[in-house]
Amino acid sequence: MPNLTFMADYKHIWYSQIAAINNPSINFLSAPFGADNGPGFGWQDVDVVKFGVEWRASEISTFRAGYSYNTSPIESADVMFNILAPGVVQHHFSAGATYKLTDNIDIEVAGIYVPESTVSGSELPFVGNPAHNVKIGMEQFAITVGFKYRLD
């Protein structure tokens, strides 16, 4: 079907190559942030798989939908430091449409929904009480509207 396109993508993100991101947070007392043996956010490498579809319904309208899944970079041992950057979401849903007003002007609408994901772990011993549980989570929702103008 010439008016239908399916897309798939795989990506591996090597957080392990960046000490300030990959090092465990328990290294807090051993060296400053950013040092090779200093503390980090404890992020593990991530695998990402994405799928999408685009349907060109007519000469003036196009519809898109997508889904993405990634492994979580954060484990329970590093939850406390990740209060600053709670990147724990794993599922992403998106949809959008383009409507051609003229030969030069399009209106585009898109939205994403990321359901809540959480990770729990203990407080770090040098900051608080390891018997306390810390829970981080994130949920996202966004809508965007745009106008596109093409020069001849």
pLDDT for position 41:
87
107 and 98 in contact (C-beta within 8 Å)?
yes
Please tell me the pTM assigned to this model: 0.83
Q: Which residue has the tokens 């407080």?
A: 123
pLDDT in 10s for each residue of the chain, 152 residues: 889 999 999 999 999 998 888 888 877 777 887 778 888 888 999 999 999 999 999 999 999 999 999 999 998 888 888 888 788 999 999 999 999 999 999 999 999 999 999 999 888 766 667 778 889 999 999 999 999 999 98
